[in-house]
Amino acid sequence: MLVELSEWFWQERLWFPEGLGWADLEDRDGRVYAKGRDLWVALPIALVFLIIRQIFERTVAAPLASLLGVKETVRLKAPHIPSLESYYCRVTKNPTQSSVASLCKQTGYSERQVQRWFRRRRNQDRPSLLKKFREASWRFTFYLLAFIAGLAALIDVNISLVQTLLPSQYWYYMIELGFYGSLLFSVASDVKRKDFKEQIVHHVATILLISFSWCVNYIRAGTLIMLVHDSSDYFLESAKMFNYAGWRNACNYIFIVFAAVFIVTRLIFFPFWIIYWTWIYPVTIYPPFFGYYFFNGLLMILQCLHIFWAILIIRIAIRFLTNNEKVDDDRSDKDETDESEEEEEEAGDKKHAKKNGPMQNGHTVHNNNHSKTE
């Protein structure tokens, strides 16, 4: 069954234009071509990346964070209340007003206390600045090194239509594929942002593009696509690092550079050169085939994601340029209350306690050593 499915999936009429097939990608006359079986190398590379990341974050990112003044976020912990904890984990993290009233009857707490408990409990689940910094520094390091490696691989690319596979291209492909594989493996523990689903779609589309372009020897197109994506990402990650460190001006200006590079590479270069080249040029030589539509369909998915992210980026950049506001990532969750609000609530609770006696069940939670750094 699996053999028949594999033979049907890899049939030549799906992935090659008429007159070409897998036999044309066999090594001959000193030319070496990419092989589908080479992609298995990306799996151990992905696992190695996960190990290297843990070592990097502890031995490099953490000391760097300390040097730049990034500290672990200190948050008030919500007291353990079994009924509220059960509702938070099993039902919803954001109860409605009617649900809050019902929980008040169950627990004997006031409406304000229940609402505050849920705010603090949600804040506990949000990643700390240090975790965000460590993740950003890891991605910054990879994207920068990958961009440099991509330039080196691109220099090696032969301009002829029929080209041999070079060692620089092989390792560039395997390392990029392994890295995006490691991102999928670590998605459960990474910082979750509002565009989490879009990120998953992006990673899957990228892995499919890299794998497909490798199997059918679209090496030049694949190298250019990966290079375009790496060209702006390290600017974004460095801006995040400075943002978490509180270096406002450095963050703002690096973000503007990132926005400019992103727009030029992904809204101009990517669609009007790369997609144009993969969409228009092949049909001048061969009639369209399934692999042609499949490859360009994945490119269009990426382009739709580029437009989605470009809207967010432009909105942030305009807000900074017109109002000189601090650059903030709209995709990030922020703590729902600031220190002044907590103190105001505490003061109100104390005043209420003095007037009417201790609160029910004696749960007045004080705001000790609480600071909002996110």
User: Which value, in Å, is the radius of gyration of the alpha carbons in the chain?
Assistant: 26
CA atoms of 298 and 291, how far apart (whole Å): 11
Please say whether the beta carbons of 140 and 241 come within 8 A. Answer: yes
User: Which pLDDT belongs to residue 343?
Assistant: 44
User: Which pLDDT belongs to residue 174?
Assistant: 93
Give how far Cα 88 sits from Cα of 105, 287, 342, Å: 16, 57, 21
CA atoms of 287 and 295, how far apart (whole Å): 15
Token output for 113 = 């206390």
User: Which pLDDT belongs to residue 151?
Assistant: 87
Please say whether the beta carbons of 234 and 144 come within 8 A. Answer: yes
CA atoms of 295 and 283, how far apart (whole Å): 13
User: How confident is the prediction along the chain (374 residues), in pLDDT tens digits per residue?
Assistant: 667 776 777 777 777 777 777 777 777 776 777 788 888 999 999 999 999 999 999 999 999 998 988 877 677 788 888 888 888 888 888 888 888 888 888 888 888 988 888 888 888 777 788 888 999 999 999 999 999 988 887 776 544 434 567 788 889 999 999 999 998 888 767 777 766 777 788 788 888 888 888 888 888 888 888 888 889 999 999 999 998 888 888 888 899 999 999 999 999 999 998 888 888 888 888 888 888 888 888 889 889 989 998 998 988 888 877 766 555 554 454 545 444 344 444 444 444 444 444 444 444 444 433 444 44
User: Which pLDDT belongs to residue 334?
Assistant: 52
- In the CATH scheme, what architecture does the domain 82-125 have? Orthogonal Bundle (1.10)
- The torsion angles phi and psi of 95, rounded to 5 degrees, stand at -70, 150
Q: Return the ∠ at Cα 167 (arms to 166 and 169), rounded to 5°.
A: 70
Burial state string for 280-305 with b = 16 or more CB within 10 A and e = fewer than 16: eebeeeeeebebbebbeebbebbbeb
Burial of 64: CB neighbours in 10 Å, binned 0-12, 13-18, 19+: middle
User: Which pLDDT belongs to residue 365?
Assistant: 43
Question: 160 Cβ partners below 8 Å, 6+ apart?
Answer: none
Please say whether the beta carbons of 140 and 238 come within 8 A. Answer: yes
CA atoms of 193 and 331, how far apart (whole Å): 5
pTM over 0.85: no
User: Which pLDDT belongs to residue 176?
Assistant: 92
CA atoms of 327 and 311, how far apart (whole Å): 15
User: Which pLDDT belongs to residue 31?
Assistant: 74
CA atoms of 6 and 214, how far apart (whole Å): 18
User: Which pLDDT belongs to residue 157?
Assistant: 56
Domain spans, the chain:
30-66+128-323, 82-125
CA atoms of 363 and 101, how far apart (whole Å): 18
